[in-house]
Amino acid sequence: MTLFRSLPARCLSLAILFTLAGCAGLGQQGMQVPAAASPPIAASAPMGQAPAVATAASASAPTAVPAVATAPKVVLPPLRVDLNAEPVLADVPAATLTAQSEEEEAAQRADLWVRVRQGFAMPDLENDLVRKWEQYYAGRPDYVARMTERGGRYLYHILDEVEKRGMPSELALLPFIESAFNPQATSSARASGMWQFMPATGRDYELKQNMFRDDRRSVLASTRAALDYLQTLHKMFGDWQHVLAAYNWGQGNVQRAVARNQKAGGSVAYDALTMPDETRNYVPKLQAIKNIVARPDSFGLALPPLQNHPFFLSVAIERDIDVAVAARLAGMTLDEFQQLNPQMNKPVILAAGTPHLLLPFDNARHFVREIERHRGPLATWTAWVAPRTLKPAEAARTVGISESQLREVNRIPPRMLVKAGSTLLVPRAATSTRDVSEHVADTAAMILAPEPLPGRRRIVKAGSKGESVASMARRLKVSAANLAAWNGVAASASFKPRQAVVLMLPALKSKKSVRTAAKKGSGKAVVRRSAQRRETKPVARTRVRVARQ
């Protein structure tokens, strides 16, 4: 079964797109492809906006994601180069316009950095922290070069979305300080993606996170969600510097900081607020990047040339396909493919959950051609839902693979059961033509529980300031996975201050087993402890008598 419907019409649409792309630098206007053509390939098609969210959790500071469950409507938007836009040349007679000036004008229209600079609209911040970060970046030209070259893959799409919403173009530079434009970045606080969404904030803004994908890392979905979030914050604060502080620190923290300054009769400007060092440096970092983009020569830096047209296309898929197979059919290395499609958690892409791929122009054309020539299975992996609670060995026998392989691909720790309803990644039969359903693709989760062991249930208390599962497990000398399972929480969760925590201890040995162990030489420690207790009792009584005298 082919991945594409009406292939001839789609190939024609693709050819039209490539013709337009080749003319972008010359200022040619784009044209809409008739809706009847319904092409499967679109130039960085925008995601639909998410519905309004009443309350959003705070996004994390920088250290790497859901796309909307259904595919965006796929169209070929016009290239954003306006042939009719006349240059504004005050007091210059029309007769003095030369061919060279027209060429310069066309070159400027083709330069994406020019377009970024023209959209700057936020008030500038001037302070010592801005100077500090300017010097920091100016002193690391190699880092700036890597960061801007990487950002060149995504900047056109982000700037396009920013402009559609009437937002300042400085916001398109925000991933520079969030993740250095790395869509696979993950912070120690579990923020992820190019825009560094925390898990809860990502869920608030419809970023799907399950075992098969994390759309906090999706280029399209995370950009849509980040701009939605920034717009929500702007409605709260009305000031972009406060918005950025809230994006980094959380809107509740910024609101309280503003209220404190208002109560004290002080200034409520961004740089007058009492806030963590990370947030205090946040806007100065962005201002430093803005200044460098505006005047790179002033800092001894050179920005890589970026053309003012889309870097990637959105290519629709209709069948599950392995990540490695998709990269090979697109003529890309796995790393290159994952830079544009970083949201995949498993080695297979489920068409029901991720109905499109992002590919550069030439690679999109290569993919369309090669997918038609491909023979054999597209996917060698699929999803299997456990019908009941099983031991991993039993689950492995059911799906026909070894227990070690099942544990490895699904990261199942020792002495754990796979609970009923869990989704596991398993090899797909070569003769199977059935793809994973949309329900499984959107809700897949693996739920584990510890195997029942003989032991005693004990309740202990978390610390007075709260503890993470990992830190408490280290203190109690048990595994974090077991402690989490005993208490029905994730291994990355935290316990509240003084929270009651379940701890399973080994079963007590009977007197007979203790005597048997002692005969084998292992009871010496028990005997020594008993002797020590007898020796200490007279000392304690002596101390009491002395105290009474």
Closest CA to 72 of 206, 231, 209: 206
Closest CA to 46 of 14, 10, 72, 76: 72
**Contact indicator for 319, 372 with CB cutoff of 8 Å:** no
- CB neighbours (10 Å) of residue 308? 21
Cα dist from 303 to 138, 141, 158, 367, 517, whole Å:
12, 10, 18, 31, 74
Letter string b/e over residues 183-214, b meaning 16 or more CB atoms within 10 A of that residue's CB: bbbbbeeebbbbbbbbbebbbbbbbbbbbbbb
Q: Which residues contact 232 (CB under 8 A, 6 or more apart)?
A: 52, 53, 56
Cα separation, 151 vs 133, in Å, equals 19
Cα separation, 308 vs 311, in Å, equals 9
Cα separation, 47 vs 161, in Å, equals 9
**Contact indicator for 275, 257 with CB cutoff of 8 Å:** yes
Torsion of CA 52, 53, 58, 64, to 10 degrees: -60
**Contact indicator for 337, 366 with CB cutoff of 8 Å:** no
Q: Which residue has the tokens 């889309």?
A: 310
Cα separation, 43 vs 78, in Å, equals 9
Segment (H or E) for 515: helix 511-519
Helix, coil or strand: residue 64 = coil
Residue from 178, 438, 451, 467 carrying the catalytic annotation: 178
Cα dist from 342 to 156, 192, 309, 358, 440, whole Å:
18, 11, 22, 10, 20
**Which amino acid is residue 371, in one-letter code?**
I
Q: Is 178 a catalytic residue?
A: yes
**Contact indicator for 212, 203 with CB cutoff of 8 Å:** no
**Contact indicator for 217, 88 with CB cutoff of 8 Å:** no
Cα separation, 177 vs 395, in Å, equals 45
- CB neighbours (10 Å) of residue 218? 29
Residue ranges with strand state E in 413-473: 416-418, 423-427, 448-450, 455-461, 467-468
Residue ranges with strand state E in 13-55: 41-43
Helices 480-487 and 469-476: crossing angle, nearest 10°?
110
What positions carry a catalytic annotation?
Answer: 178
